[in-house]
Structure 1
Amino acid sequence: MLPDVKKIVYASDIEEGSRPAFRAAVSMAGHYNAEITFLHVIEPLSASAKNLLKTMMNDESLNEMHQESVNNLKNKLVERIERFCSSELDDNEKMRDDQVIPRVEEGVAEKVILRVADEINADLIVMGTRTHSSVEQFFLGSTANRVMQRTKRPVLIIPLK
């Protein structure tokens, strides 16, 4: 049995097929009247990609482009959340406007998820995971597995297609 859940971190790759995990987060939020931080993590550019961009742009232009991209992604997250809530939730499942907080961060996914969960003192982390071959699983693991291994918080993992 879960303790009282007031804050949920829902970590999403916002890829096709991730809705079942968000639906699970919404269900938990509805059951506990909890707040969801909808987190999307942008993996950082490799050093070689950064160096290539620096040969074409100055630092100020590069930073401006980066900030504009993050803002655009956050706006898309907000739109996606609104579309989901209006098209897929029944009237008795509707979320308050302040109940879902979109957040875009940059970094290594599992580290950012754990940092944000600690920062907001989350009671639950909800994530989807896609099936991988056993070889991929052995060599790479998954973000969900790495989060589960490194946290003391409850983690709800939803298998995705």
Structure 2
Amino acid sequence: MLPQVKKILYASDIDQGSRPAFRAAVSLCGHYNSEITFLHVIEPLSASAQSIVDTMMNDESLLEMHDQSIQNLRDKLKERIERFCETELEESEMLSEGQAVARVEEGTPWKTILEVADDIDADVIVMGTRTHSGVSQFLLGSTANKVMHHTKRPVLVVPLK
């Protein structure tokens, strides 16, 4: 059992099949009456992709589109949280207003997860991991592996299909 879990960081790639990990975060939240920060990290464009975008749009249009895209994604996360609560939680499990916060950040996923965990002073990080072959795990590593190896915070990793 974890001592005093007041803040939970749930890191999601928002792909299909990530609900079991969010379910685990919500379960922890209910048990400890804590807060959840629902984090999605957007990886930066490669240099060549950024170059193509820069030649097609001016800086002002690009910044406006970027900001609108981030806001749309944040709204989508809030909607997913609400839909999850409506369809999968019983009355006694419902999250109260402000108990779940949606956050969208840009950067290298595992580094950004650790930065946000520090920023909110998370007591635990909850995330899912998909099954990969042993060779790809060895050569590339997963975001969950990197988070686990670079943090002193407890990490709950939920296997996803």
Same fold (TM > 0.5): yes
Question: Is 1:135 equivalent to 2:138 in the alignment?
Answer: no
Structure 2-normalised TM-score?
0.99
For residue 2 of structure 1, report the CA deviation from its aligned partner. 1.0
Q: Which whole-Å CA distance do the structure 1 matches of 2:60 and 2:35 have between them?
A: 36
What secondary structure, in the 3-state scheme, does the structure 2 residue paired with 1:62 have? helix
What secondary structure, in the 3-state scheme, does the structure 1 residue paired with 2:98 have? helix
What secondary structure, in the 3-state scheme, does the structure 2 residue paired with 1:2 have? coil
Q: Which whole-Å CA distance do the structure 2 matches of 1:2 and 1:72 have between them?
A: 35
Q: Which whole-Å CA distance do the structure 2 matches of 1:4 and 1:50 have between them?
A: 43
Paired position in structure 1 for 2:20 = 20
Question: Is 1:80 equivalent to 2:77 in the alignment?
Answer: no
Percentage of identical aligned residues: 70
Which amino acid in structure 2 is aligned with residue 129 of structure 1? Answer: T
Q: Which whole-Å CA distance do the structure 2 matches of 1:3 and 1:150 have between them?
A: 21
Unaligned runs of 5+ in 1: none
Structure 1-normalised TM-score?
0.99
| Aligned CA-pair RMSD | 0.6
Runs of 4 or more consecutive aligned structure 1 residues displaced over 4 Å after TM superposition: none
Unaligned runs of 5+ in 2: none
Q: Which whole-Å CA distance do the structure 1 matches of 2:55 and 2:92 have between them?
A: 54
Number of corresponding residues:
161
Question: Is 1:101 equivalent to 2:122 in the alignment?
Answer: no
Q: Which whole-Å CA distance do the structure 2 matches of 1:29 and 1:23 have between them?
A: 10
